[in-house]
Structure 1
């Protein structure tokens, strides 16, 4: 958190709020937020530059400040907020971009996990960004392509769907929602999914992400966009955070488990748990025994 819909909402708000503004001064108060270059060079390089565009790749924000690209990863709780310079600051404000028009873009991060990198070319991109897989909405991304990429993967599909080298931007919330909508158990081995199942999962992933984008994202904890506004999709979540409640589809009590180290929400009825090899062998033996007894 934030995931693709939240980062996209931040991108859209910053596009409206800061594109065209000229940076007069930069104040880096927590040096480790800036990974490259040094905080001193970071400040010097951005001073006097104009923000030309705000884009997104996966969960990364990409601010074009020619000849540089400012790459910002919000991680768990990073936030941007545009304010007037005389507005009191909130705690945990670590980087401030002051513009020539008297406004400030403030970066706030309670957990301090967010990062910023200022680069000149793709060869300097941080490894996480350089290795990203296709965007969920990429028209070239097909179930057949996913099938070929996941064919040898034995990890649970939930783990594969969170792997940013497989699919960029999908995180814990929307992986749970998409798997539920597709009727696929989160622990099913990724390589065992059929092309039809992957087609359904890709479709539902796109559907849930688009709905979340339209709603401005989900405010589960502290997420707000550049205007300081919360998202609205959290009221539409079908399984995430609803363990112990009835399934919206069948009424079965939703459960929570851990998959790939992440809290995972699912419906035992709508998402049938895959049988293990041992369970299949036991069923086969019992069938053979019943067959002998009926002779």
Structure 2
């Protein structure tokens, strides 16, 4: 599943492609893709100019000029955004929505002026296709542009203290708190949680309510640093997951993973342990992540 890093990559690339263009059409061909959205509200976004594309947790948020709502895109397990030339055939039957974007406006383009020499001309129209084989992903109208999740991983409001206060009320393993997108922090998925906990030296099955603020701060610092490094190389693409960027390129951060999806710890070569925590499989190293460490 795309996490904070992959979603940030997709949002940055979509901003590069879409900002300044008009959303000229938004055809949707699968009902599950818009299962939480009123079709009338979705249609009201068409014809508006894209002003910004940003990420919030695992949501891509497309802000539009003059609208009191934004277009939210959630890729979930198998969603992809792919750039294509308008009118070219779909790669397969799994394209369930298309963001049709008009030519890039350039009202100050004086076609007969020598001063325009070497300046890029207005770009032609383009399509961004939402491909989702499992149909878990969705498009949703977000009132006031607010994603329905906790603060983003990089939000300064998220601190070790805020996570410690949240965890004090939870009787679950540490990883379960990190995976909860509605409370605490949004954007951390399975691989970011595994890797951050490994770097912080914390067992993912440790009771969340027993961790000190210092431990939560260390986990948060690790998660942010790993996300930044992952963004720099296009994110993580694993064999059983379909993440690619807008041009179909896989991310390469998987080569730097220490415990996630690994049989042995990359740091010490100890066989990794595995258990289900918060409904997701956790991987950790018993040597690097001591089961009794709480600070």
2:68 counterpart of 1:45 = no
Alignment of 1:165-176 (within 5 A): 165-176=183-194
Q: Do the aligned partners of residues 144 and 37 (structure 1) sit closer, same or farther apart at CA in structure 2, a change above 3 Å counting?
A: closer
Aligned residues: 266
Distance 1:249 1:145 in 2: 30
Q: Do the aligned partners of residues 100 and 145 (structure 1) sit closer, same or farther apart at CA in structure 2, a change above 3 Å counting?
A: closer
2:173 counterpart of 1:156 = yes
TM-score calculated relative to the size of structure 1: 0.84
More helix per residue: 1 or 2? 1
Distance 1:25 1:249 in 2: 50
TM-score calculated relative to the size of structure 2: 0.84
Q: Which residue of the other structure, out of 124, 131, 144, is the alignment partner of 1:121?
A: 144
Cα shift at 1:74: 1.1
Provide the residue aligned with 2:76 in structure 1. 75
Alignment of 1:86-105 (within 5 A): 86-91=87-92, 92-101=94-103, 102-105=125-128
Contiguous gaps of at least 5 residues in structure 1: 276-295
Q: Structure 1 runs of 4+ off > 4 angstroms?
A: none
Q: Deviations over 1:206-250 (max 9, x none)?
A: 21111111121101221111222211111111101102x3x2222
Which one has the largest radius of gyration? 1
Partner-residue secondary structure (3-state), 1:202? helix
Partner-residue secondary structure (3-state), 2:55? strand
Q: Do the aligned partners of residues 36 and 269 (structure 1) sit closer, same or farther apart at CA in structure 2, a change above 3 Å counting?
A: closer
2:253 counterpart of 1:233 = yes
Q: Deviations over 1:237-295 (max 9, x none)?
A: 1101102x3x22222111222212211111121112349xxxxxxxxxxxxxxxxxxxx
Distance 1:43 1:191 in 2: 41
Cα shift at 1:95: 0.6
Distance 1:44 1:200 in 2: 44
Q: Do the aligned partners of residues 98 and 202 (structure 1) sit closer, same or farther apart at CA in structure 2, a change above 3 Å counting?
A: closer
Distance 1:32 1:203 in 2: 36
Provide the residue aligned with 2:131 in structure 1. 108
Distance 2:136 2:30 in 1: 11
Distance 1:160 1:151 in 2: 10
Provide the residue aligned with 1:188 in structure 2. 206
Q: Which residue of the other structure, out of 192, 211, 227, is the alignment partner of 1:209?
A: 227
2:144 counterpart of 1:144 = no
Provide the residue aligned with 1:8 in structure 2. 8
- Contact 1:36/1:119 (<8 A) preserved: no
- Contact 1:25/1:43 (<8 A) preserved: no
Distance 1:37 1:147 in 2: 35
Q: Do the aligned partners of residues 87 and 158 (structure 1) sit closer, same or farther apart at CA in structure 2, a change above 3 Å counting?
A: same
